[in-house]
Structure 1
Amino acid sequence: MGSLRLLMVGVLGLATIAASPSLAQRKYDPGANDSEIKIGNIMPYSGPISSYSVIGKTETAYFEKINAEGGINGRKIKFISYDDSSNPAKTVEQARKLVEGDEVLLIFQSLGGSMNIAIEKYLNDRKVPQLFVSAPNKRFGDPKNFPWTMGWSPTADNEGRIYAQYLLKNHPSSRVGVLYLNVDVGKEYLMALKEGLDGKMQVVAEVPYEITDPTVDSQVISLKESGADIIFLAATPKTAVQAIRRMAELDWKPIRLLASISNSIGAVMKPAGLEVANGILSAGYLKDPSDPLLKDDPAVKEWEVFMAKYYPEGDRTNTFTAYGYLVAQTMVQVLRQCGDDLTRENVMRQAANIKDLELGLLLPGIKINTSPTDYFPVKHMQMTRFNGETIELLGPLYSGVVAGN
């Protein structure tokens, strides 16, 4: 009888363990365990687009904040971020180091279109999530061909069409010139703008530049000579600053559209000169925390507290810090949704199952939504104008998303 009682107790004990979610449902892939989640990242901390490096620094600080608050479901984040100097060959090297050496669970927010294209097949072949890519290329929202890769911000294709909608409504008789980075994303901006204009406005100049060009003086002169009275700068921050300054030196005052990848007071408007940059139009999807009109906004106050404690040296006028903060928040949301199933498959499943996520530093009305067939988390934007001090919002929300894209 005593043996039978012991056997029953043992069986009941095993049943209790099996029924306990905290024990029975814990699943891990490389990079995750009971106490830690390893996340890999690749940033241009040096090189021609190093102005974006504040994004990686902000994300590092945000994960430090999360860890100080107890982590995610009791696990601390180990954020491993390497420099690739915006060199695709170096990106490949760093991705292999993160996956095969550090054994991270996923790659998060690596920056640059060409750099992410260089590692896209490698990560998909190994079924390692390439999440919330920091580049607006449309190809990073293609679950059919690259199910382990997902972007985050509105695509260049989306944004270019939004500018076309705005121009057709507000400047229908103007002539357009485009300065664009001669890589996939720059060409996407150009093609989307042209397709959105649909021949109703004339694009009189399409002038490329290379990321290694020391200046764009000759390109700006070509644009001026084209007779364009609207210039779209599909350019990275350093080049955007050069182009804005050169236009001022030539005493040339076209209407200037600036791609959102450079729409930052701290990274572009200040270096170009606040007075010189006055009047620049762009499209945005996040709040500018340096706007004095937002000083009482609860989300901005929360961001200010975060910056003061975890990234005090960060430039508060640089909206790339707000961007890094938002994307890190999105990553945390996905990991929380994962619960105790920290497999790579479940990470992607949760990333493709975000429903009406409202983050305080997104512009009002913009929510994050994804699905297994929708890998474009942020789809809407609002036109903005820099007034010499702050970035003003103009008109309604736009979406340039085309059905089937």
Structure 2
Amino acid sequence: MRRPLGSGRAGNGGRLRRGTAVSAAVLLAATTAAACGGRDDGDDGGTATGACEGQQTTGITDSSLKLGGIYPLSGPASAYGAIPKGIKAYFDYVNKEKGGVDGRQVEFVVRDDGYQPPKAVEEARRLVEQEQVFALFQTLGTPSTTATWDYANQRKVPQVFVATGASKWGTDDKHPWTIGWQPNYVSEARVYAQHLKQEKPKAKVAVLFQNDDFGKDLLDGFKKAIEGTEIKIVQEESYEVTDPSVEAQMRDLAGSGADVFLNVTTPKFGSQALAADAKITDWNPLHILNNVAASVTVLEPVGFKNVQGVVSSTYYKDPNDPQWADDAEMKLYQEKMKQYSPGADPNVPYHAFGWAVASSFHKTMEAAECKTREGLRDSMRNLKDVEVPMLLPGVKMSTGPDDGFPIEAMQMMKFEGERWTLTGDVIDTRKVFGPLGD
């Protein structure tokens, strides 16, 4: 029972603070809700009626939708705490000006796990069992999502668009309730390998990686992508998220003779590695910074003059890039961030990331034939070239029975002056490299 993007009456906004609800709500036509599995507003849980009879309706009514997110608002990955601010601004905007998401006012409850998997499990339980959210939206980080996906799938709660690019979210067939959003780390690694094949076909690569599923996934993908080429990894160094610094690892890598440095880190350590690279004046490799640490907020503390020529990849529009100054979605984003999150800088890319993923959820929820947990699960796994305005032109969301990766296209970028500059064309890794297992 698909229907186009709707508009409706304005709703109420809300606040974002740790452990509390972050605004967002909406109003859907009762006839559509009844036909597609709606329930009365007074019910705290239960199942749908009508065509979607028996499906779960916990956390959703004819006029409201409750989502829960888990982020490292504190701890070593706290830079990612900017993401829910962008999500909040988007939901506040659609609640007050567009009638919400599919006619329902969205309430977004954010919990802090400090980038600690045991804490993530605790917060997931709190959101599902106490807050009774409809879905877990955006659990951040590979370790935390890995710790919670068994629980989410046992409870049959959608864990939608998790904020991590681990390849297992799209290849595993035992967790149908969990799905990623951003390009997976293996596909990202393939893009870097392709870049080196073209620009430095005999590259000697030194790698710094986070010693967990995130770091190993990207590194393993890169190793496989350079098989059969003259590109060689000459040294690897890892770090733990509890480490105070990566300076020692950087000194070791500098002695490797590598002419390429692959920086597979989260923001705190990415910034440290960039700073260390700048200090080691007798080592000047091509510096490849993975996407999850490529925010301007990671580079700025190092000094822009020290990060010139660093390369990375992206898939959504950078609010600092003047080429998007007249872009309709960017203008809307800038305006509404200032209106609904006045303390947040719209130019921080993590805010734009939040806006983009919230818009992606909006479209996915609207496409759900049943407005139930099962309906969302099915919708997120049946996306067909869905356009999200904050994504780069040519980047669309697609999933299917044999493809659990919503976004698999990226474009290389180079840091010049005080911002990233897009280079080359958008690379659809599905078409260029084939399925992930190839």
Would you identify which runs of 4 or more consecutive aligned residues in structure 1 move more than 3 Å? 19-28, 399-402
Structure 2 Cα separation of the partners of residues 263 and 73 of structure 1: 33
Is 1:132–2:143 an aligned residue pair?
Answer: no
Q: For 1:112-123, list aligned pairs within 5 A.
A: 112-123=141-152
Q: Distance in 2 between matches of 1:172 and 1:25?
A: 55
Shift of 1:143: 5.3
Deviation at 1:322, TM superposition (A): 1.0
Partner residue, 2:74: 46
Q: Quote how far apart the aligned CAs of 1:222 are.
A: 0.8
Identity %: 38
- Alpha-carbon deviation of 1:354? 1.8
Cα drift, residue 311 of structure 1: 1.7
Is it true that 1:62 corresponds to 2:90 in the alignment? yes
Superposition pairs of residues 30-109 of structure 1, within 5 angstroms: 30-69=58-97, 70-109=99-138
1:78 aligns to what SS in structure 2? strand
1:26 has 2:57 as partner: no
| Contact residue 162 and residue 399 of structure 1 kept, 8 A | no
Structure 1 residues 222-233: aligned runs within 5 Å: 222-233=252-263
Distance 2:188 2:341 in 1: 30
Q: Partners of 2:292 and 2:275 in 1: how far apart?
A: 18
* Aligned counterparts of 1:397 and 1:196: Cα–Cα separation in 2: 18
Aligned match for 1:344, one of 358, 373, 388: 373
For residue 310 of structure 1, what is the aligned residue in structure 2? 340
Are positions 1:290 and 2:320 aligned together? yes
Residue correspondence of structure 1 range 367-378 to structure 2 within 5 A: 367-378=396-407
Contact 1:143 1:372 in 2 (8 A): no
Quick check: 2:37–2:372 contact (8 Å CA) kept in 1?
no
- Three-state SS of the structure 1 residue aligned to 2:424 is strand
**CA shift for structure 1 position 97:** 0.6
SS in 2 for 1:179: strand
Per-residue CA deviation, residues 85-114 of structure 1 (Å, 9 max, x unaligned), is: 111111000000111111111100110100
1:109 touches 1:134 (CA, 8 Å); kept in 2?
yes
Aligned residue number for residue 248 of structure 1 = 278
8 Å CA contact 1:264, 1:317 repeated in 2: no
**1:154 alignment partner, one of 183, 188, 193:** 183
Partners of 1:371 and 1:332 in 2: CA distance: 19
Q: How many residues align?
A: 385
Residues 262 and 268 in structure 1, CA contact (< 8 A), matched pair in contact too = yes
Distance 1:52 1:108 in 2: 15
Distance 2:225 2:171 in 1: 21
Greater Cα radius of gyration, structure 1 or 2: 1
The TM-score, its normalising length taken from structure 2, stands at: 0.85
Closer, same or farther: CA 59–230 of 1 in aligned 2, 3 Å: same
1:168 Cα deviation from its structure 2 partner: 1.0
Shift, 1:26, TM fit: 3.2
Q: Distance in 2 between matches of 1:56 and 1:367?
A: 22
Would the aligned equivalents of 1:160 and 1:400 in 2 still touch at CA under 8 Å? no
Q: Contact between 2:278 and 2:307, CA under 8 Å: does it hold in 1?
A: no
Kindly tell me: are residues 304 and 20 of structure 1, through their superposed partners in 2, closer, same or farther at Cα, counting changes over 3 Å?
closer
**CA distance in 2 between partners of 1:178 and 1:284 (Å):** 20
- Higher helix fraction (1 or 2): 1
Structure 2 CA distance for aligned equivalents of residues 297 and 35 of structure 1: 32
The CA distance in 1 between the partners of 2:33 and 2:311, in whole Å, is 52
On the 8 A contact 1:181/1:209 being kept in 2, the answer is yes
CA contact (8 A) 1:279 1:385 kept: yes
Structure 2 unaligned spans of 5+? 1-29, 39-47, 49-56
Aligned partner of 1:12 in structure 2 is none
Change (3 A) 1:23 1:196: closer
Which deviates the most, 319-328 or 243-252?
243-252
**CA gap 1:126/1:292 in 2 versus in 1, 3 angstroms:** same
Match of 1:262 among 283, 293, 299: 293
Q: 1:57-76 CA distances to partner (integer Å, 9 max, x unpaired)?
A: 21122111121122123321
TM normalised by structure 1 equals 0.92
The 3-state SS of whatever aligns with 1:231 is: strand
Aligned pairs for 1:151-230 within 5 A: 151-200=180-229, 201-230=231-260
> Within 2, Cα distance between the matches of 1:365 and 1:305?
24
Cα distance in 2 for partners of 1:384, 1:24 equals: 47
- Equivalence for 2:361: 331
Query: Could you tell me whether the CA contact under 8 Å between 2:383 and 2:399 is conserved in 1?
Result: yes
CA–CA distance in 2 between the matches of 1:364 and 1:272? 31
TM-superposed deviation, 1:361: 1.9
Q: SS in structure 2 opposite 1:109?
A: strand
